[in-house]
Amino acid sequence: MKPVPSWPSLPPGGVPIMQPRRRAPSQIALWGLMGVIGMLFSLMLVAYVMRMSQGDWRPLPPVNALWVNTGVLAAACIVMQSSASQARHGELRRSRRDWVLAGVLAIAFVAGQLWVWRDLTVRQLGVAGNPANSFFFLLTGLHALHLLGGLAAWACLLPHRLAHATRARRLSLTAQYWHFLFVLWVALFAAVVNLTPEIAQRLCGTGGVSP
């Protein structure tokens, strides 16, 4: 005998009240993690702008490879989202293929960052050169560290031992984290490329102070 479905209680007006949809604990935990990481990088960017407004700041020369790395990370996020969407629709083979490709692109991004750091060091623009160099290595290194954490989550989903529903949910959560890391990288990249000491001085209210 099939169980009789339970309907929500009727209010005095006679219209059923829909119960609010509860978020999964894993989704709430992910939001909390992204909130903490976002606050950390926000504070780092504030310190970056404040330090840039000082007179001894010597900006880094243009690093064209960062544009390529940004495109690679964007491609990784797109392919990862495709994998999560295909898993929800039952396209498991295509989902696994895209998942592997997304990880390869993410590893390529990390390799590109390592190349940028090595190139700057060879050009005598290492971490100890001046405050601009130090902040660049700090911000990009901290971002790469969180990205390696995302790669660990990616690697855990490579085996096929999970049930379909569980795998689809975890793919979606991991993809959300990668999208967050991409937005974070865009903010860091914009700060490194577009911010100048003059803009920082206006933001900090020190535009009239001579270096």
Lowest mean pLDDT among 10-14, 40-44, 204-208: 10-14
pLDDT at residue 162, rounded to an integer? 72
Percentages (nearest 5) of helix, strand, coil residues in the chain: 70, 0, 30
Residue 28 domain flag: no
Burial of 142: CB neighbours in 10 Å, binned 0-12, 13-18, 19+:
middle
Q: Give a yes or no: residue 13 inside a domain.
A: no
Q: Which residue has the tokens 């130090």?
A: 134
Taking the C-alpha atoms of residue 150 and residue 177, their distance in angstroms, rounded to an integer, is 7
3-class SS letters over 24-78 = CHHHHHHHHHHHHHHHHHHHHHHHHHHHHCCCCCCCCCCCCHHHHHHHHHHHHHH
In a domain, 118, yes or no: yes
The answer to the question of residue 125 being in a domain is: yes
Q: How confident is the model at residue 189 (pLDDT cuts 50, 70, 90)?
A: very high
Q: Which domain does 99 fall in, by range?
A: 64-204
Cα separation, 192 vs 154, whole angstroms: 28
Exposure of 197 by Cβ count < 10 A (0-12 exposed, 13-18 middle, 19+ buried)?
Answer: buried
Torsion angles phi and psi, residue 195, rounded to 5? -70, 140
pLDDT range class, residue 208, cuts 50, 70, 90: very low
Residue-wise pLDDT tens digits, 58-112: 888 888 999 999 999 999 999 999 999 998 888 888 999 999 999 999 999 999 9
For 113-134, what is the mean pLDDT? 89
User: How many domains does the chain fold into?
Assistant: 1
Q: Would residue 209 count as lying in a domain?
A: no
**Percent of the chain's residues with pLDDT above 90:** 51
Contacts by 32-37 with C-beta closer than 8 Å and gap 24+? Answer: 33/177, 34/176, 34/177, 34/180, 37/146, 37/180, 37/184
* More confident site: 173 or 203: 173
CATH number, residue 139: 1.20.120.80
115 has pLDDT over 60: yes
Q: How far apart are CA 202 and CA 169, in angstroms?
A: 45
Does residue 42 fall inside a structural domain? no
Are 95 and 80 spatial neighbours (Cβ–Cβ below 8 Å)?
Answer: no
**Residue pLDDT, tens place only, 46-62:** 998 888 887 778 888 88
pTM, two decimals, is 0.82
Q: Which amino acid is at 133?
A: N
Q: Token pair for residue 198?
A: 């003059």
Task: Evaluate whether residue 29 is within a structural domain.
Answer: no
The answer to the question of residue 72 being in a domain is yes
